[in-house]
Amino acid sequence: MPGIIQQLQETTAFIKSNYSHTPEVGIVLGSGLGNFAQEIKVEKEIPYDAIPHFPVSTVEGHHGKLIFGELSGKKIVVMAGRFHFYEGYTPEQVAYPIRVMKQLGIGHLLLSNAAGGVNPAFKVGDLMLITDHISFSTVNPLIGKNLSELGPRFPDMSEPYSKEIIKKARAIAAALQIKVQEGVYFGVTGPTFETRAEYKLIHRLGGDAVGMSTVQEVIIAVHMNLPVFAVSVITDIGIREEDNIITHEEVLQAAKEAEPKLTAIFKQMVAEL
């Protein structure tokens, strides 16, 4: 297998041979949020399985293609479908597309995900601006030899989510009259949903929402000095006394219903970045 630098060169060369423009913003769509792509003036779509060294989505609700086009007057690249550690990919593979988007030229990264609400003040359908995360329950994608061409050996994680962009998001949400929550995202491996005891522990450790993605992508983005903004769609509430059964179908449905609010914020965000 070629090294990561050669892989990135081959991947980006292939993409540039199919799409010549330089995207300014990269966007990753989480479970059930694929309809966001309808807002884009699409110029090129490339299936993941056609891209050298790219993983392939295996989860329902993740379409599995890179979408290039224009949104709010800017060139963007969108991942319609992401990769997860629980699918059997290595952490490095999970975050590989973030490295690719950075190599393609993006200056900002916008992430979305479906997450379980742990903060008792949250309700299904809320949007949570991620202000920080807890990554102890995930495998760090930077384990192994560090390549200084990509970033430092010990990246500082004191501000993984750009405070400047979060401030902008607050103003956008207020102007659009969309209520947003803010909080800490607790990353886990999945694919099981959490037990009652795990939800309670996560809450006590400082988590407001819990999910199976995003953290490894953010670590790689910070490693490459790429500003990040992320939003969780609260698709279920973990701590509750009644029936605690959660299904993936319910998660997808809740994400679909909240999608218009997320789309409105992302559209305006792209315009203002």
| Helix pair 163-175, 248-272: axis angle to 10 deg | 100
Helix (H, G, I), strand (E, B) or coil at 132: strand
Q: Is the omega angle on the peptide bond into residue 191 within 30 degrees of 0, that is, cis? A: yes
Mean pLDDT value across the chain: 92
Phi-psi region at 30: left, alpha or beta (left = phi > 0; alpha = psi -120 to 50): beta
- Would you say residue 32 has pLDDT above 70? no
User: Hey, what domains does the chain have and what are their CATH numbers?
Assistant: 4-272 (3.40.50.1580)
Say whether pLDDT at 174 is over 60.
yes
Instruction: Look up the pTM and report it.
Output: 0.93
Which tens digit of pLDDT belongs to each residue from 55-75?
Answer: 876 665 556 899 999 999 999
pLDDT value of residue 254: 74
Spatial contact of 126 and 181, defined as CB atoms under 8 Å apart: yes
Is residue 6 within a helix (H) or strand (E), and if so which, with residue range? helix 4-18
Indicate whether 1 pLDDT > 70.
Answer: no
For residues 85 and 49, give the distance between their C-alpha atoms in angstroms, rounded to a whole number. 18
pLDDT, tens digit, 9 for 90 and up, residues 96-138 = 999 999 999 999 999 999 899 999 999 889 999 999 999 999 9
